[in-house]
């Protein structure tokens, strides 16, 4: 194992462990922190995420679980900057709330700020919304969470067509749960977290990725496939 690979794995692993005392909930996966599109190039993908984390509903702690399936449309603004939109469906579940699938959407950007032989560094920003509803005791209960995530880290090519990525992140979770004119505010227990993942190029224009988040207060998985054209 060379020094660059050892350093990258150590950074990602230690960041994930050091930040593991916090909650992390991503309505949508993060993917690599670096851009994967050239200027003028489009990308189309399908993303899936499952997350289970503790949040605060006003002053009460509850566990929020979400499933989302999203179409992802990206565009290369420059060779190093990518913007993207997501549209799809998702659901939310809590102790006494079993929400159905409703509309989910989001947007974001990724920027590669340092390129080396097999090691690139980047930063990402994304924001996602989710709607879900349930009927409890004859009343319609509406769940409306959203998240804002900022992450930075490496994407290292460990062998031909296979890379690993990850690093620390900051995440804000907000939203509301409401019924019959009453509402409670949702927010994260902590904004710090970490993640690690891997991406495999199935062919020159198609890539499959998977990632994992783990904390003392929550964990999540994400996966997706993308096509560039």
CATH of the domain at 132: 2.40.160.20
How many domains does the chain contain in total?
1
Q: How many CB atoms lie within 10 A of CB 15?
A: 20
Give pTM, 2 decimals.
0.85
pLDDT at 60: 87
pLDDT at 170: 87
- List helix spans (H) across 64-141: none
Instruction: Give CA–CA dist 223/154, Å, rounded.
Output: 18
Averages of pLDDT over runs of 10 residues in the chain (229 residues) are 49 44 66 96 97 87 93 98 97 91 97 95 97 92 93 95 94 88 82 91 94 80 95
175 Cβ contact partners less than 8 Å away, ≥ 6 residues apart: 143, 144, 145, 146, 185, 186
pLDDT at 188: 78
Instruction: Give CA–CA dist 221/161, Å, rounded.
Output: 22
Q: What is the pLDDT of residues 196-228, one digit of tens each?
A: 999 999 998 999 999 998 776 778 899 999 999
pLDDT at 100: 94
Instruction: Give CA–CA dist 50/141, Å, rounded.
Output: 21
Q: How many CB atoms lie within 10 A of CB 110?
A: 24
H or E stretch covering 12:
helix 3-18
pLDDT at 20: 40
Q: What is the pLDDT of residues 75-106, one digit of tens each?
A: 999 999 999 999 999 999 998 899 999 999 99
Instruction: Give CA–CA dist 70/127, Å, rounded.
Output: 13
pLDDT at 14: 44
The backbone region for 28, taken as left when phi is positive above 0, alpha when psi lies in -120 to 50, beta otherwise, is: beta
pLDDT at 218: 77
* Residue positions counted in the chain: 229
Q: Which domain holds residue 194?
A: 3-228
pLDDT at 181: 76
């Amino acid at each position: 194992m060379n020094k660059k690979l050892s350093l990258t794995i150590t950074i990602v692993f230690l960041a994930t462990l050091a930040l593991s005392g916090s909650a992390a909930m991503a309505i949508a996966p993060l993917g690599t922190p670096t851009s994967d599109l050239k200027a003028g190039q489009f990308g189309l993908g399908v993303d899936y995420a499952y997350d289970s984390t503790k949040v605060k509903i006003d002053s009460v702690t509850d566990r929020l679980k979400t499933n989302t399936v999203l179409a992802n449309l990206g565009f290369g603004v420059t060779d190093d900057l990518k913007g993207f939109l997501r549209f799809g469906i998702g659901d939310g579940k809590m102790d006494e709330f079993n929400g159905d699938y409703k509309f989910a959407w989001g947007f974001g950007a990724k920027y590669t700020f340092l390129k080396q032989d097999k090691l690139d560094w980047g930063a990402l920003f994304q924001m996602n919304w989710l709607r879900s509803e349930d009927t409890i005791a004859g009343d319609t209960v509406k769940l409306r969470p959203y998240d804002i995530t900022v992450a930075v880290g490496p994407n290292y090519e460990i062998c031909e067509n296979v890379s690993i990525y990850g690093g620390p992140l900051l995440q804000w979770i907000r939203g509301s749960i409401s019924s019959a004119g009453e509402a409670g505010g949702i927010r994260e227990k902590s904004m710090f977290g970490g993640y690690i993942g891997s991406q495999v190029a199935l062919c020159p224009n198609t890539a499959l990725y998977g990632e994992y988040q783990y904390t003392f207060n929550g964990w999540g998985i994400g996966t997706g496939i993308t096509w560039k054209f």
